Structure 1
Amino acid sequence: MAVSFHVRSNSYPSRQHPQAAHVDEQLTRLRSSEAASSSSICQRLSNLQDLHDSLEKMVRLSVNNQTLSQDQIEKLLDGSLRILDLCNVAKDALSQMKEGLMEIQSILRRKRGDLSGEVKKYLVSRKMLKKSLQNVLRSLKVCQNKDNTSGSLVVFGEAEAVTISLFESLFSFMSGSKACGKWSLVSKVMSQNKATCEAEANEFTRIDSQFQSEKSLKMEDVQILESCIQDVEDGIESLSKSLIKYRVSILNI
C-alpha cells in the first residue's frame, strides 16, 4: 500500500468568529470522548464529520465577511488535503483487509477450498499492512513535532490536531498495536462482566490470533470483523465527503 500525505507547518487566524463557539464545543466533546473507554472510533468519526461541517459553515461566513487572507486560505486547503490523504490511506487499508476476508468467508461458507492457503495469504498481507501503518504513524509523530499553530485561526489548527489524533488511534487499532483498551469496535458483542485485556482486545488483533490456529476460526468471527471494517469505511467515507465540501467552500473564496 502506497502511503503518502502532504505535510506543512500551519498557523491560523483568530477565533473571534460567530461560529467559533460551536466549534469549540465540538472540540471539547471530541477531546473528552478520546479519554472515554466506551467511545468507539465510529462515533468519533461521526463527531469529526459534525466538526468539519461546522468548520465549513465557518468558512462560508468568513467568505461573506472577507476575513481570510490568501495565505490563510492556502493553509486551510493544505490542512484539509492532509486529512483527506489520511482518509485515503485508511480506506485503502480497510479495502485491502476486506478483500482478503472475502475468499476466506466463501471457503468457510462452502466448506471446501484451500482455507490454509487463503489464511496464509491474508496473514502475509496483514503483516505488510501493519508495517505500512506503522510507517504512517511514525510520519505523523514527526509532522506533529514540526507543526506550529501559535499564529492566528487557532480553532482550525486545533481541529486538525484532534482529527490527526483520531487517525493515529485508528491506525494503531488497525495494526493491532492497541490490543487492550479504549478503541474496541465490538464491545457490544463482548460479555459485560469480562474486564480482562483478552476480552477487550480489538477485532483486528483477535481475528489475527484466530487465523494463527485455523481450527478455531469461525464464520462468525470473520463476519464480525467484516462488519467492523464496513462501519469504519462508512465513517471515513462520510468524513471525506464533509472534507470535500469544506474544501469547495474554501476554493470559492
Structure 2
Amino acid sequence: MQHPQAAYVDEQLTRLRSSEAASSSSSSSVYQKLRNLQDLHDSLDKMIRLSVTNKALSQVQIEKLLDGSLRILDLCNVAKDALSQMKEGLKEIQSILRRKRGDLSADVKKYLVTRKFLKKSFQKVLKNLKVNQNRECNGKSLVVFGEAEAVTISLFESMFSFMSGSKACGKWSLVTELMNQKKSTSEAEANEFTIVDSVFESEKSLKMEDVQILESCIQDFEDGIESLAKSLIKYRVSLLNII
C-alpha cells in the first residue's frame, strides 16, 4: 500500500503534468507553476524524512538525486541573474520617464543589448537541457523523485522560452511551427517581455505602464524562483542527512 505522503506527491505531479500540457502560456501561469513546484519539493522533503524512504534509497540513488537538485539550482541561478539584469535596466528607464527629461535612447539600447545577450544564453541553456531521470529508483514511491526532476526542468524550459519570446521545444514543435508560419511573431508570442522589446526596437512611444507591468512580472518570477530554490536547499539537506 502506498504511503499517504507518496500518494500526495503523485497528485501534485499529475496536476503539474496537466498544466504543462496546456497549450496557453502566460506570466501568471508560469508563476503558478513555480509556486506548485515549490509545494512539490516541500512534499518531497517530507517524504525523504520518512524512515521507509530512508531505507529504500541507496547511496547511489541519493547521489543521483543530489546531482539532479544541483542541476535545478543552477537553472534557478541562471534565471535569477537574467531577471536581475533586466530589472536593473528597466529601473534606469523608469527613472528617466518619471523625470520626463533626458535621453532614453542610450538606456534603451543598453537594455536591448542585455536582452540579446540573455536570449542567446537562454538558447544555449535550452539546447543543453537534458532530463536525466533516476531510473534506478524502483517502486512507485521512489520513481516520483525522477519524475519531479523531469517536470521541474520542463518548467524551466518553458520559462526560458517565455522570457526569450520563443516557443518551447516539444513533441509537436515542428508541426506547430509549420501551422503558424503565416502568423506574425507578435501575434503568436506576445507577452510582457516581448511587448517591451517590440516597443523599444520599433522606437515607438514608450508607456510607463508597459514597463511597470514587465517589472511586476519580473518580480513575481524572482519571488517564485527564490521560494523554489529555498525548498530545493531544504530537500538537499534532508538527502545529505541520510548519508
TM-score band by shorter chain is: 0.7 to 0.9
Partner in structure 2 of residue 34 of structure 1: 20
Q: Matched residue of 1:25: which SS? A: helix
Question: Residues 158-198 of structure 1: CA distance to partner in whole angstroms, max 9, x if unpaired?
Answer: 0000000000000001111139xxxxxxxxxxxxxxxx963
Matched residue type, 2:57: L
**Offset of 1:63 from its aligned partner?**
7.3
Shift of 1:129: 0.7
Using structure 2 for the length normalisation, give the TM-score: 0.84
1:50 match: 39
Structure 1 CA distance for aligned equivalents of residues 167 and 217 of structure 2: 16
In the alignment, which of 136, 140, 165 is matched to residue 151 of structure 1? 136
Counterparts in 2 of 1:166 and 1:127: CA distance versus 1, 3 Å: same
Contact 2:134 2:145 in 1 (8 A): no
Distance 2:4 2:68 in 1: 22
Correspondence list, 1:1-253, <5 A: 17-36=3-22, 37=24, 40-62=29-51, 65-140=54-129, 143-144=130-131, 147=132, 149-152=134-137, 153-178=142-167, 198=187, 201-253=190-242
CA contact (8 A) 2:133 2:150 kept: no
Question: Structure 1: which 4+ aligned runs deviate by more than 4 Å?
Answer: 15-18
Work out whether residues 52 and 246 of structure 1, in 8 Å CA contact, stay in contact via their aligned partners in 2: yes
How far has the Cα of 1:88 moved from its partner?
0.5
Residues 209/65 of structure 1: CA separation in 2 closer, same or farther (3 Å cut): closer
> What whole-Å deviation, never above 9, does each CA across 1:148-167 have from its counterpart, x for those lacking one?
54322321000000000000
Higher helix share goes to which structure? 2
Residues 64 and 134, structure 2, Cα contact 8 Å, conserved in 1: no
Structure 2 unmatched ranges of 5 or more: 169-184
Fraction of identical pairs, as percent: 83
Aligned length: 219
Please identify, of 46-55 and 215-224, the stretch whose mean Cα deviation from structure 2 is larger: 215-224
Gaps of 5+ in 1: 1-14, 180-195
In 2, Cα distance between equivalents of 1:252 and 1:54: 17
Mapped partners of 2:228, 2:127: distance in 1 = 23
Scaled by the length of structure 1, the TM-score of the pair is 0.81
CA contact (8 A) 2:166 2:189 kept: no
Q: Whole-Å Cα distance in 2 between the matches of residues 62 and 229 of structure 1?
A: 40
Distance 1:151 1:64, change over 3 A: closer
In the TM superposition, residue 222 of structure 1 has moved relative to its aligned partner by 0.4
